[in-house]
Amino acid sequence: MNRTHNNGQLRMSHVGDNVELIGWVAKKRNLGALVFIDLRDRYGVTQIIFDESFEERLKEVKNEYILQVKGSVIERSSKNPKMATGDIEVQAKDFQIINTAKLTPMIVADETDALEETRMQYRYLDLRRPMMQENLMTRHKITRSIREYLDNLDFIDIETPYLNRSTPEGARDFLVPSRVHKGEFYALPQSPQLFKQLLMVSGFEKYYQIARCFRDEDLRADRQIEFTQVDVEMSFLSTDRILEIGEGMIAKVMHDVKGIDIELPLRRLTWHEAMEKYGIDKPDTRFGLELVNLNHIVADVDFAVFKNALEAHGHVKGINVVAQAQEFSRKKIDNLTEIAKTYKAKGLAWLKVSEAGVQGPIAKFFTEEQMNTLLTAMNAKENDLLLFVGDPKYEVVCDSLAAIRNYLGKELKLYDPSTFDFLWVVDFPMFEYDDETQRYYAKHHPFTRPKDEDIDKLETDPENCLADAYDIVLNGFELGGGSQRIYEQNLQERAFKALGFTQEQIDSQFGWFVEGLQYGTPPHGGFALGLDRVAMLLCGCDSLRDVIAFPKNTSATCPMSKAPTPVAKAQLDELGIGVNKNESTESK
């Protein structure tokens, strides 16, 4: 079997050449005495023309058969500018069926009739579609660009273990039972965090890894239980230098993969600035609609929702939806109210500015002076729609208005979806408090270093302790993040205790790691990028599943292989495991 060219390669310069091609039958068309076949491989499509001498043999050829074709390149009489090979076609001299194919359960083309579950069940067919092949090739280009960049900066690619002990990092662990040590379990890594820090203790200084990670958490469009991250760690470098390396890597990827040169350095927002302006720590900055803090503006307004929120030391914020008052009917505003309620807001207050004045259910609560002050604060003009949320809880106000803002940005087409707007969000809180469990949790992870000036707040004022941490954000998605790490044993133990760990828990769960900090650990920091998410955004996809070869569905199952599946009792006995099948497992 020989192939002289691939199916995306032939051009006018090849006219007159004898060629041998091989590929899948993408389309077969009978036009009188002639038969046209589009022959497809990963490189593209070439049109093959067969004369009447092949009529009988071609009757058995169906879509997705693999053919080997011998022929000569000729100029097309009717050119197709949409195809790279659209100026030529191949006049067949002979062909051979290499393999047949069953009738496929889906159309193998970019415009397919298949539901996602069918696409995932027959993933090998779905991956033949040019769009899917392009997505995975783009993903490859991203990783190639990253490796080139980090290799040139003297980083070392080092693998860390897949099997380690379970540690409380946030999401649930995937556990792997040990046959040798009955009743004991390994855990698949949620990240290489502790090992990459120990590599800094080992003196490697610059490490990276394209790492597989596993988190037993609920799935959504931009999350998978097994995923890939670009993991980077380095010693003896300031935060500014780490961010410079990180954004340099992003710039190289954008240049290599998209042909776009982004402006450096990237914009930086503090976490507090992001929350105040956008209500979210991963803002989409391609459009405005910034939130306005109205606490002082409405402090004396006799509207119960605002009053109750401020009396409980809460917050009132608003958004000015410019020039949309007439466009938004009561029904459309009710839809926005439902979005706010999804995020636990009690409702959505609103006003419309018109030539006749200001109308809306809450207008009656404002004096003329208060209304003028409000309009000035929100830079409101005629035909503007003003939206407000007040609540005792800061996160309710921010979450609900951020969701409305993102909805309006898309609905009103306030940005060009083909643009890419990167930024860093820096100076995160070290901790966040959970009302249900009545304790603090690490905003990033327990190994994040507090800002030097806030170290003493670990015990005295954890709520206002800032971390030397940063996230990189693109178009409203968190691509990844990182921090400077704690490198002193005593400070690491103080951070654990601020999170509620006892010394006994520290020793039993992290003693092996803390021990390593006692042998001359260098100052170090790093970051990790979600490779799947980067690929999703650069490919213009809405789901991670479109940039992963064999993903899981939202039920954390593989429709193709049917994983997970029961295993034989003998296997369980060998591991010393008994399974208590609950009702949901049995019904499955």
Is the CB of residue 39 less than 8 Å from the CB of residue 79?
no
485 is in an annotated binding site: yes
Residue at token pair 């503007």: 384
241 is in an annotated binding site: no
Type of residue at 195: F
Is the CB of residue 435 less than 8 Å from the CB of residue 392?
no
DSSP 59-97: TT--TT-EEEEEEEEEE-SS--TTSTTTTEEEEEEEEEE
CA 138, chain centre distance (Å): 15
478 is in an annotated binding site: yes
Beta strands in 544-585 (DSSP E): none
Q: Please classify residue 94 by burial: count the beta carbons closer than 10 Å to its beta carbon, then call 0-12 exposed, 13-18 middle and 19+ buried.
A: exposed
Residue 90 φ then ψ, to 5°: -110, 120
Q: Which residues contact 165 (CB under 8 A, 6 or more apart)?
A: 186, 187, 512
224 is in an annotated binding site: yes
Distances (CA, A) of 465 to 314, 375, 398: 20, 35, 20
374 is in an annotated binding site: no
68 is in an annotated binding site: no
531 is in an annotated binding site: yes
How far is residue 10's CA from residue 71's CA, in Å, rounded to a whole number?
A: 12
SS3 state of residue 397 = helix
Is the CB of residue 345 less than 8 Å from the CB of residue 397?
yes
Is the CB of residue 130 less than 8 Å from the CB of residue 107?
no
144 is in an annotated binding site: no
Distances (CA, A) of 472 to 206, 445, 578: 20, 16, 44
Residue 293 φ then ψ, to 5°: -75, 120
Tokens of 53: 């001498």
Q: Please classify residue 202 by burial: count the beta carbons closer than 10 Å to its beta carbon, then call 0-12 exposed, 13-18 middle and 19+ buried.
A: middle
The angle that helices 394-411 and 271-278 make with each other, rounded to 10 degrees, is 60
How far is residue 410's CA from residue 126's CA, in Å, rounded to a whole number?
A: 29
* Residues in the annotated binding site for ATP: 215-217, 224, 478, 530-533
* Residues in the annotated binding site: 169, 215-217, 224, 444, 478, 485, 530-533
* Residues in the annotated binding site for L-aspartate: 169, 215, 444, 485
